[in-house]
Amino acid sequence: MIITKQKELSVILHMIEGKSKIFLVGCGECATECKTGGEKEILDMKQQLEASGKTITGWVIPETACAAGHIKIAMAKNREALSKSDAVIVFACGSGTQSFKENDRFKLSVLSGNDTLFAATVDSKGGFQEYCSSCGDCVLDLTDGICPITRCAKGLLNGPCGGQKDGKCEADRAKDCAWILIFKSKVENNKVDELKKINKARDYKKSQKPHSVELGSKS
C-alpha cells in the first residue's frame, strides 16, 4: 500500500491560483484506505474549494488511479466535465497523478493534492508501517525477512552499528535495532552461522530510477 498525506488547503489553493474550474480525482485503493482520496475526502475538498470561490466541474474515483486502464475509463465517463475544466487535482499517490497526466488528452494542468510518503504494510491495529524501500536488490532471504535497508536508520548491511543500546536504535530509542532483530531471529532458528558468510556487494544499479518492467520480463 502507498501511504499519502493530503496537502493543506492553503497549499492547494495556491496551486490553483488563477484557475477557476477544477475537476477532482481520487483513488479507490490506497488513497481511500489512507483517507486522503476516498469519496468522503473528495466531497469534503469539493465543499472547501467551492467555499473558496472555485467551480468544481466534476469528480471521479477510479478503481485504481495508477492503472492506465482505470484512468481511461474514468476520463471517458467524464469527458464533458473535463473539457470544461482548467485543472485537475489528483488525490492519489504520485504514480496515480502521473498516470492521469500520461493519459490526459485534454492537455489540462494536472496537479497532485497529496504528498506521497512511503510504501507500507498494514499492521494488526490498522496502522501503516514502512518495511520496504523498493530498492530493487532484495536481501530478505539473507536477513530472515527483516529489511535492514529500510528498518535500519543508516541502511547498514553489515550488522549493527556501535550506537545501538539494549537492542534499540541510536537515532530513535523507541525503535528496535533492525540488526538485533535479525540476530535474534537467526538465534531462534539456529542459523547464526549464516551471519558469518561474506555476501557479494549490493548491486546499486538495480536501485537506479525510474524503474520499468515489461510484462513477462525478469529484469
Q: Tell me if 206 is assigned to some domain.
A: no
- In a shared domain, residues 92 and 19: yes
- In a shared domain, residues 20 and 90: yes
Structural domain of residue 193, as residue ranges?
139-200
| pLDDT given for residue 152 in this prediction | 96
pTM: 0.86
Q: What is the pLDDT of residues 161-216, one digit of tens each?
A: 999 999 999 999 999 999 999 999 999 999 999 999 988 888 888 888 887 777 66
- In a shared domain, residues 82 and 162: no
- In a shared domain, residues 49 and 151: no
**Residue 19 burial (CB count, 10 A):** 16
- In a shared domain, residues 144 and 101: no
CA-CA distance, 153 to 150, in Å (whole number)? 7
If one counts the domains in the chain, the total is 2
Domain of 80, CATH number, reads 3.40.50.2300
- In a shared domain, residues 95 and 23: yes
